[in-house]
């Protein structure tokens, strides 16, 4: 279909080309050959009378017009998807949508199994695609997830919330420490001197950056710790704690789940960390999509069941043998 002499199918190609800044990667994304993708770029250049992408060294960079067009093209395609996908009436029992959600493996492990079980019960046709938080461009993980990674939802700590997108606080938690329950070094408590001198296991991004809340807070307080092991998943941390005198700083809900499967002891952190609030964010245009609104309410409902005051139990606990 043409509109003012432009084949509207080329808008999909334009989005891929400007997003990827690579003909080959855009071709993979479009499931086209490189020659067909190059031809589409040529037709777009002719229509807009602008190169759109120019060679800079070994890479392609968007022109000023390309940068100006990209957010508009994304918005147009997003609205088109909303029109195409929006049913007249929404029934979870017959829904066959796929929802893509980006969050840390802490949030995925604590919250999303309950969401998945509820989906299996009332919306068995819904597919759930869960992705880890990406390393952000320009320190904006929300835009990276929603715009560049084309996700429906992203859950981030409050401090990483992007005010350009709607948000809803969904759960809160406190940081604590885990140690090996069978090691004699930390039997009942963990003081700040012990915390400083201990070897630590931390969660880091694939590019080596540690953007966790505990790392940020410790840096603000001028407290350094000796990092013995960095892993890319919270779920791997217990494996490197058991059988050692190492310490890890994790969220209490997560620590309680770890202690059910590993010989771990949960200890109060030797300093006060701020409360961690996780927020759900999405594109504004999704507010009118009944399926998206329903799924958002489902996430909030399941999060509310988790976000109850933590049971007042002794801070030191170990898993059953």
- Verify that 126 and 269 share a domain, yes or no: no
What does the pLDDT profile of the chain (321 residues) look like in tens digits? 555 567 777 888 888 888 889 898 888 888 888 888 899 888 889 888 889 899 888 888 989 998 888 888 888 887 777 666 655 568 899 999 999 999 988 999 999 999 999 999 999 999 999 998 877 667 788 988 888 778 899 999 998 899 999 999 999 999 999 999 988 887 778 899 999 999 999 988 655 555 678 888 888 888 889 999 999 888 999 999 999 999 999 999 999 999 999 999 999 999 999 998 999 999 988 887 888 999 999 999 998 888 554 443 434 444 443
- Verify that 108 and 256 share a domain, yes or no: no
Q: Which residues pair with 53 in a beta bridge?
A: 62
- Verify that 143 and 64 share a domain, yes or no: no
- Verify that 59 and 109 share a domain, yes or no: no
- Verify that 270 and 290 share a domain, yes or no: no
Among 67, 85, 103, the domain-final residue is 85
- Verify that 79 and 46 share a domain, yes or no: yes
- Verify that 203 and 261 share a domain, yes or no: yes
- Verify that 248 and 189 share a domain, yes or no: yes
Does the predicted TM-score (pTM) go above 0.85? no
165 falls within a domain: no
19 falls within a domain: yes
DSSP output for 138-184: GG-HHHIIIIIS--SEEEEEGGG--TTS-EEEEEEE-EEEEEETT-S
Contact residues for 213 (Cβ-Cβ < 8 A; gap 6+): 157, 159, 175, 273, 274, 276
DSSP-assigned letter for residue 94: G
- Verify that 226 and 255 share a domain, yes or no: yes
User: How far, CA to CA in Å, does 202 sit from each of 211, 213, 218?
Assistant: 10, 11, 13
pLDDT confidence of residue 233: 86
- Verify that 217 and 294 share a domain, yes or no: no
Domain count for the chain, please give it: 3
181 in Cβ contact with 255 (< 8 Å): no
pLDDT confidence of residue 4: 56
DSSP output for 168-231: EEEEEE-EEEEEETT-SSSSS---HHHHHHSEEEEE--TTS----HHHHHHHHTT---EEEEEE
Among 59, 85, 111, the domain-final residue is 85
Contact residues for 37 (Cβ-Cβ < 8 A; gap 6+): 13, 16, 17, 23, 26, 27, 30
280 falls within a domain: no
146 falls within a domain: yes
104 falls within a domain: yes
135 falls within a domain: yes
- Verify that 144 and 213 share a domain, yes or no: no
Two tokens, residue 48: 């807009």
12 in Cβ contact with 77 (< 8 Å): yes
Q: What is the CATH number of the domain that holds 251?
A: 3.40.190.10
Contact residues for 67 (Cβ-Cβ < 8 A; gap 6+): 18
Structural domain for 35, as ranges: 2-85
145 falls within a domain: yes
Q: What is the CATH number of the domain that holds 55?
A: 1.10.10.10
Two tokens, residue 22: 């690579």
- Verify that 99 and 49 share a domain, yes or no: no
311 falls within a domain: no
């Amino acid at each position: 279909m043409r509109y003012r002499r432009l084949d509207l199918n080329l808008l999909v190609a334009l989005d891929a080309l400007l997003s990827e800044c690579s003909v080959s990667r855009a071709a993979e994304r479009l499931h086209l050959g490189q020659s067909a993708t190059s031809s589409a770029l040529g037709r777009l250049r002719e229509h807009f009378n602008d190169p759109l992408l120019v060679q800079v060294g070994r890479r392609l960079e968007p022109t000023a017009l390309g940068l100006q067009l990209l957010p508009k093209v994304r918005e147009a395609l997003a609205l088109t998807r909303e029109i195409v996908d929006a049913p007249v009436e929404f029934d979870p029992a017959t829904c066959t949508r796929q929802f893509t959600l980006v969050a840390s493996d802490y949030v995925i492990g604590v919250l999303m199994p309950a969401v998945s079980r509820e989906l299996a019960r009332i919306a068995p046709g819904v597919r759930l695609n869960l992705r880890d938080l990406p390393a952000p461009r320009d320190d904006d993980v929300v835009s990276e997830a929603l715009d560049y990674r084309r996700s429906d939802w992203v859950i981030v700590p409050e401090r990483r919330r992007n005010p350009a997108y709607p948000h809803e606080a969904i759960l809160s938690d406190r940081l604590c420490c885990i140690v090996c329950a069978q090691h004699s070094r930390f039997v009942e408590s963990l003081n700040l001197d012990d915390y400083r001198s201990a070897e630590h296991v931390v969660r880091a991004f694939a590019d080596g950056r540690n953007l966790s809340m505990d790392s940020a807070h410790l840096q603000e307080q001028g407290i350094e710790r000796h990092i013995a092991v960095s892993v890319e998943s919270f779920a791997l941390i217990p494996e490197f704690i058991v059988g050692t005198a190492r310490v890890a700083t994790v969220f209490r809900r997560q620590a309680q789940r770890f202690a059910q499967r590993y010989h771990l002891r949960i200890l109060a952190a030797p300093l006060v960390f701020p409360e961690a609030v996780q927020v759900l964010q999405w594109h504004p245009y999704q507010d009118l999509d009944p399926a998206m609104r329903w799924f958002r309410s489902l996430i909030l409902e399941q999060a509310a069941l988790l976000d109850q005051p933590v049971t007042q139990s002794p801070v030191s606990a170990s898993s059953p043998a």
